[in-house]
Amino acid sequence: MQNENQVIQFEADSNKIYKTVPDSNLDYEEYELNNKILKINNLLYIALDDVNVGLNVVYGFSQNDNRILLNTVDSLTEGYKTSLSEQTNNTIIEISPEFNNEKALSYNMLVVSNENQKWGVVDNNFSTIIGNKYTSLEFIESAKAFIAADDNKYGVISIEPNQRPIIDLNYEEIEVINNSPMFYKVKLAGKYGIIDGNGKPIINNEYDNMGYTTQSTTEQTVLVIKEFGKNKENLLVVCKEGKYGLVNLSDGKAIGDCILDKVYGKIENGQEKYYIQLQDKEFSLDDYIKSINTTKVNMEQ
């Protein structure tokens, strides 16, 4: 299923679904449902108690006419707007119209601002979950957390009281670069590093940028190479002084130096293959990594 805001992938006889944003370079976000997707008469069926995650809608039941009611997050937002003044004594002024924040309604949360234009989070009874003290909040559905900003400093706030903040508001920028497992790209003093979903620094802030972007119609832009090689490692493309390199996201260790001109993908026989360019020569990524790991022994002794 696809609309202008997201793409959702379903699979029969599976309890997992996958979401992404149209034209995104990120991998699909993986979600586990309580029940398997059923295929009956060539149609797919999802259980009602999974529709909030699967479709970002909220369902209810009307006893008067024995009907199931499905509400989109857009319609719910409009409905809550009409009850703001009477239920909150004008302490809440606005509900965020951003789609990522509207998705929080699927989890019974609203992103709201007060008269000082500070954003916070309340439940569907308008009880406070996160206080109104941030200049911006963005819901990260796959992490069940919020990227928060105040005074142009960014961090990540958990919805669990005993776990927040996950990342202190010390950074110039934060964005998700990988969903499963979760990794955030953070910017500090003009340099980029990586912090995992538990708030643990994985890569120090030492790189000028991350990811390789191509303008070629035969090459694929690459940020994270998923489950590469026999060890199924997640490799991040990094950039320093105009040259590219690779870092293993599991331990933050660099694979060689930043000496590459390109790191890119190609679609071959329906599969994505990865290549590097060094001094105008193309090598497969597998061969390049093998050459780094090969130890040359002088046998002339």
Average pLDDT value for residue range 155-178: 91
Whether 296 shows a pLDDT value over 50: the answer reads no
Amino acid 88: pLDDT:
63
What is the arithmetic mean of pLDDT over 142-156?
95
Query: Higher pLDDT residue, 72 or 186?
Result: 186
CB 186 within 8 A of CB 202: no
Residue 119: strand pairing partners:
113, 134
- Average confidence (pLDDT) over 252-260: 95
Spatial contact of 275 and 287, defined as CB atoms under 8 Å apart: no
- Per residue in 64-103, pLDDT (tens digit) is 888 888 888 888 888 788 777 666 666 778 899 898 999 9
pTM confidence score: 0.86
First to last CA, the chain: 66
- Write the CB contacts of 157 (distance below 8 Å, at least 6 apart in sequence): 130, 134, 137, 145, 146, 147, 148, 164, 165, 166
User: Which contacts qualify for 2-5: CB closer than 8 Å, 24 or more apart?
Assistant: 5/99
Q: pLDDT class for 233, splitting at 50, 70, 90? A: very high
| Alpha carbon of residue 67 to chain centroid | 35
- Does residue 221 have a pLDDT over 80? yes
pLDDT for 299 equals 40
pLDDT of residue 87: 66
Please state, in angstroms and as integers, the Cα–Cα distance from residue 46 to each residue in 64, 68, 81, 153, following that order.
25, 14, 29, 41
Give the three-class secondary structure for 53: helix
Return the H-helix or E-strand segment holding 131: strand 128-134
Residue 121 and residue 132 in contact, taking contact as beta carbons nearer than 8 Å: no
Give the residue-averaged pLDDT of 128-150.
94
Q: What is the mean pLDDT of residues 209-229?
A: 92
Query: Tell me, what's the pLDDT at 300?
Result: 45
Cβ-defined contacts of 76-83 (< 8 Å, 24+): 76/102, 76/105, 77/102, 77/105, 80/105, 80/110, 80/124
Q: Is 46 exposed, middle or buried (0-12, 13-18, 19+ CB in 10 A)?
A: middle
What's the pLDDT tens digit per position in 102-124? Answer: 999 989 999 999 989 999 999 98
pLDDT for position 249: 94
pLDDT-derived band at 185 (thresholds 50, 70, 90) equals very high
Q: What is the mean pLDDT of the chain?
A: 89
Look at 115-119, 278-282, 284-288, 290-294 and tell me which has the smallest mean pLDDT: 290-294
